[in-house]
Amino acid sequence: MVSDPFDPVKIIADWLRDLMMNTWNFSGDLAAVILKAIGAFVIAGLVLMIFIVLTWVERKVAARFQDRIGPNRVGPRGVLQPIADALKMVTKEDTTPKNADKVAYNLAPILSVFSVIMMWAVIPFTEKWIGADLNVGVLYIAAVGSFGVLSVLMAGWSSHNKYALLGAFRGVAQLISYEVPLFLSLLVPVLLARNMGVNAIVRAPAHWKWFAWMAPLAVVIYLVSSLAEVGRAPFDLLEAESELVAGYHVEYSGMKFGLFQAGEFLHSFTAGALMAILFFGGWQGPGVDQYPILGLVYMIAKTAVFYFIFIWSRVTFPRVRIDQIMSLNWKFMVPLSLVLLMGIPILDYFFQNDPLRIPVLFGFNVFLAVVALGFASRGVKRGRRPRVRFEGRPVAVPPKEDEVAA
Amino acid sequence: MIPLSWYLIVSASLFSIGLFGVLARKNAIAILMGIELMLNAVNINLVAFWRYLTPEKITGQVFALMVFAVAAAEVAVGLALVISVYRRREIVAADEIDMLKW
Amino acid sequence: MPPTLMQIIFLIGSAITLLAALMVVTRRNLVHAALFLILTLFGISVLFVLLEAGFLAVVQVVVYIGAIAILMIMAVMVTRNVTGNETRTFNKNYGLAILIALLVLSGLVVALNHWPALNTTTQDVDTSTVVKTLGQSMFTAEAFVIPTIIASILLLAALIGAIVIAGPGKAGEE
């Protein structure tokens, strides 16, 4: 590694610390706390700024998939459209239902964004730029992800609306069910890297020997579980914009609804970032040793690819019913991820430093996927209703004179 | 630095608040919340003793993890019982569940 | 002597925890009580971080806040008193309960004061290998693998028991 690579964050941090301790005479503790608070503020601000770009990207890409152009009036190629959206949302009337529980009603959208921004505390942008290098980073991500469930429940209950409450119950059932395969597939890179810290997992694979080649089935399980956790299509029964009139956030308007949307988009961006970090090497790439700032570029590029995959699956798949969602989870994803989690450490133990490590693990994943799909297709065939010939009168034809109405 | 007595006082207070909740509340679910507070107070105690007296052995944290598991199991079964009773009689107050009394 | 940063964080964290715990046992509206319970559990997680048990702090958030608290909130929402008037908060043992709680608290404090090792302060501990040591001790035969297995069987029994007790039941039941 080059002895003194260009690191702007460290330069600014050192200058600030020097300023506080020497010219203003703060104590060491207070300076550390203020620096960390500034760092947290900067990360949270950056994440919220990304939301503005995300709305534009989402609308343009979804439009292109649907063979139309998308917003192109406001600014060149519609780049200023999110600002127009934000202005519209801020100036909308802010209604509150009469018997709503004020504290829970106002707290729910805040919690939904809060849980996503907290995840960014452990995501490494480059090798040295990370909010908090916890050695239990992956578990921290899982913990903070379960905060978002609370916001759904509080939103549904505090609206004092039976249908919002029912939508919230279904939403919570989906969210907590899909946390199980999510956590199990998050554990696979932990097992392969032998470390629970996020930065260590990014550093662990050698160049181009990403964990995605060693555990592609974990990537798929993580992708599907993330889609269900975020509440995006095909699992977007939580909001079901065209059907249930927005489910658990039906009573929200204006900026509070905007916060829910922000939480959802940011959560899918964060899920893409996590996939890039844990499975695809994060900030690693050619040339990061000399120019660490390239790590930021690689990370954003990989995250953008996965965000594109999320948008792609949103515009492609039809919505899945709630009972299909539940049976997919408990009958397919959980056993599959459990068997994967059991098999990968056993194989990895034997092939630890063997050059055959990647092909053997990849082969195991493919074998497991084939077996699982075999089971699943047999289950689907058994569950399908037998097709019966319809013997009655077709409906749109008027009855003949000698027939009575059916 | 923080002496051990501070942590023990916090956990003793939490335990007695939980005890008050268990003894004085009417709703069965509120009683379960009091039990949760007591179990958490025990956890704070265990981890404080681990940190201050035997930080080189990991036994304190393992014990705390076992308490987590037991608390989760107990809450699950307790809430299942409360919901099952509610389904039959629409009662949630603990002192009105007297179907077994003579 | 002015309090150090750790002491300030400890005082704020434990104040929030104890106040939220008091709110839990005194609120009539059970959903508010459950939300205060979540705040209490979060405060306890902060105390775990101060005790340098980071893994336990995160497990506390996952297990208690992410699962148990949500289960309690859903149970509260399902068993709402549909007649409209919520029942009283406290039952008739209210005064006796306060007395017993205060007795227990003072008994514990008095008993602890007679303990010689009460005011020990911390030695430094290396926490970078705690997760590894924890994993090894939970799954090694000389250490705690048997309690781990028993705990997982207990959780399985609780899972099956909860489904049997509160599940859909047989078709002919009322």
A61 and A110 co-located in one domain = no
In angstroms, what CA-CA distances link B100 with A96, B95, B96, B97?
46, 12, 11, 8
A58 and A148 co-located in one domain = no
Reported residue count of chain C is: 174
| Nearest-CA distance A116 → chain C (Å) | 15
Is B53 within 8 Å of C120 when comparing Cβ atoms? yes
Q: Domain end: C54, C80, C106, which one? A: C80
The CATH number given to whatever domain includes residue B92 is 1.10.287.3510
Q: What does the pLDDT read at residue C171? A: 45
A202 and A250 co-located in one domain = yes
Q: Higher confidence at residue C166 or residue A27?
A: C166
In angstroms, what CA-CA distances link C149 with A190, B46, C63?
22, 21, 18
Residue A146 is nearest to which of C31, C66, C130, comparing CB atoms? C66
Rounded CA separation C134/C54 (Å):
12
Q: CB of B39 within 8 Å of any CB in chain C?
A: no
Rounded CA separation A239/A23 (Å):
54
Q: What does the pLDDT read at residue C37? A: 94
A251 and A333 co-located in one domain = yes
Contact between A150 and A172 under an 8 Å Cβ cutoff? The reply is no
Instruction: Provide the chain C residues 75-114 that lie in CB contact (below 8 A) with chain B.
Output: 75-76, 78-79, 81-82, 87-91, 93-94, 96-98, 100-102, 104-105, 108-109, 112
Rounded CA separation B45/C106 (Å):
17
- The per-residue pLDDT for range C19-52, each reduced to its tens digit, is 999 999 988 888 889 999 999 999 999 999 998 8
Check whether B99 has a pLDDT greater than 80.
Answer: no
C2 and C73 co-located in one domain = yes
Q: Is residue B101 part of a domain?
A: no
Give how many domains chain C has, as a whole number.
2
| Nearest-CA distance C79 → chain B (Å) | 7
- The per-residue pLDDT for range A327-379, each reduced to its tens digit, is 889 989 999 999 999 999 888 888 877 777 888 888 888 888 898 888 888 87
Q: CB of A136 within 8 Å of any CB in chain C?
A: yes
Cβ burial of A360 (10 Å; 0-12, 13-18, 19+) is: middle
Query: Predicted ipTM?
Result: 0.90
Check whether C127 has a pLDDT greater than 60.
Answer: yes
Cβ atoms < 10 Å from Cβ of B56: 9
Best A107, A140, A159, A174 member to test C by mutation, with max C CBs in 10 Å, is A140
For chain B, the straight-line distance linking the first and the last C-alpha, in angstroms and rounded, comes to: 58
DSSP code, position A330: I
Residue type, C103: L
Rounded CA separation A91/A296 (Å):
36
DSSP code, position A329: I
Rounded CA separation A155/A100 (Å):
10
Q: What is the mean pLDDT of each run of 10 residues along chain A (406 residues)?
A: 60 80 74 84 87 86 86 79 82 77 83 89 83 85 88 83 80 89 92 86 80 89 90 70 59 79 89 90 78 82 91 86 86 92 88 79 87 85 71 69 61
Chain position carrying tokens 């699992």: A235
A189 and A228 co-located in one domain = yes
Contacts of C140 in chain B (CB under 8 A): none
Chains B and A contact (Cβ–Cβ under 8 Å for 3 or more pairs)? no
Region of A156 please: left (phi>0), alpha (psi -120 to 50) or beta: alpha
| Nearest-CA distance C4 → chain A (Å) | 8
Cβ atoms < 10 Å from Cβ of A302: 22
Q: What does the pLDDT read at residue A292? A: 72
Q: What does the pLDDT read at residue C152? A: 93
Check whether B31 has a pLDDT greater than 60.
Answer: yes
Q: What does the pLDDT read at residue C82? A: 53
The CATH number given to whatever domain includes residue C16 is 1.20.120.1200
Q: Is residue A395 part of a domain?
A: no
C139 and C66 co-located in one domain = no
Is A139 within 8 Å of C67 when comparing Cβ atoms? no
Q: Is residue B22 part of a domain?
A: yes
Q: CB of B27 within 8 Å of any CB in chain C?
A: yes
Contacts of A150 in chain C (CB under 8 A): 38, 65, 69-70, 73
Q: CB of C12 within 8 Å of any CB in chain B?
A: no
Residue type, C111: A
Q: Is residue A187 part of a domain?
A: yes
* Closest residue by Cα to residue A281 from A121, A132, A130, A126: A126
Q: CB of B98 within 8 Å of any CB in chain C?
A: no
Contacts of A103 in chain C (CB under 8 A): 32, 35
Helix (H, G, I), strand (E, B) or coil at B11: helix
Q: Which domain holds residue B59?
A: 4-96
Rounded CA separation A36/A42 (Å):
10
Is B37 within 8 Å of C24 when comparing Cβ atoms? yes
- Please give the mean pLDDT across all residues of chain C: 84
HSE-CB for A391 with a 13 A CA cutoff: 1
Chain position carrying tokens 């939970």: C138
Q: Is residue B73 part of a domain?
A: yes
Q: Which domain holds residue A302?
A: 97-381
Residue C67 is nearest to which of B70, B72, B95, comparing CB atoms? B72
In angstroms, what CA-CA distances link C52 with A123, A176, B54?
22, 29, 13
What tokens does A23 get?
């010219």
Q: What does the pLDDT read at residue A102? A: 79
Contact between B17 and C22 under an 8 Å Cβ cutoff? The reply is yes
Residue type, A99: N
Q: Is residue A157 part of a domain?
A: yes
A17-21, A299-303, B2-6, C129-133 — which is least confidently predicted?
A17-21
Q: What does the pLDDT read at residue A237? A: 67
Rg (chain B; Cα; Å): 17
Is B9 within 8 Å of C157 when comparing Cβ atoms? no
Rounded CA separation A190/A201 (Å):
7
A222 and A362 co-located in one domain = yes
Q: Is residue B102 part of a domain?
A: no
A165 and A278 co-located in one domain = yes
What tokens does A75 get?
């600014």
Rounded CA separation A347/A338 (Å):
15
Q: What does the pLDDT read at residue A394? A: 66
Give how many domains chain A has, as a whole number.
2
Tell me the sheet residues that pair with B93: B27
- The per-residue pLDDT for range B37-89, each reduced to its tens digit, is 999 999 999 999 888 888 888 888 899 999 999 999 999 999 999 888 888 87
Q: Is residue A40 part of a domain?
A: yes
Helix (H, G, I), strand (E, B) or coil at C89: coil
Could you tell me which chain C residue has the CA closest to the CA of A196?
A: C131
Residue type, C7: Q
- The per-residue pLDDT for range A44-99, each reduced to its tens digit, is 888 888 888 888 888 888 888 888 888 877 778 778 888 888 888 888 877 777 77
Handedness of CA A371, A375, A380, A385 (dihedral sign): positive
Q: Domain end: A51, A68, A91, which one? A: A91
Give how many domains chain B has, as a whole number.
1
Q: Is residue B48 part of a domain?
A: yes
Contact between C79 and B86 under an 8 Å Cβ cutoff? The reply is yes
Rg (chain A; Cα; Å): 25
A246 and A221 co-located in one domain = yes
Q: What is the pTM of this model?
A: 0.88
Q: Is residue A402 part of a domain?
A: no
Handedness of CA A136, A138, A143, A148 (dihedral sign): positive
DSSP code, position A91: T
* Closest residue by Cα to residue A71 from A187, C104, A80, A371: A80
Helix (H, G, I), strand (E, B) or coil at A388: coil
Helix (H, G, I), strand (E, B) or coil at C99: helix
Rounded CA separation A274/A121 (Å):
12
Q: Domain end: A91, A120, A142, which one? A: A91
Residues 6+ apart with CB under 8 A from B66: C147, C151
Q: Is residue A389 part of a domain?
A: no
Query: Sorting pLDDT into bands at 50, 70 and 90, what band is C86?
Result: low
Q: Which domain holds residue C136?
A: 130-167
Residue C70 is nearest to which of A140, A142, A176, comparing CB atoms? A176
Contact between A56 and A304 under an 8 Å Cβ cutoff? The reply is no
Q: What does the pLDDT read at residue A405? A: 56
Q: Is residue C112 part of a domain?
A: no
Contacts of B53 in chain C (CB under 8 A): 117, 120
Q: Is residue A271 part of a domain?
A: yes
Check whether C84 has a pLDDT greater than 70.
Answer: no
Residue C75 is nearest to which of B17, B29, B48, comparing CB atoms? B29
Tell me the sheet residues that pair with B25: C90
Q: For C113-128, what is the mean pLDDT?
A: 72
What tokens does B13 get?
């207070």
* Closest residue by Cα to residue A131 from A141, A121, A139, A140: A121
Is B79 within 8 Å of C72 when comparing Cβ atoms? yes
Residue C109 is nearest to which of B12, B26, B47, comparing CB atoms? B12
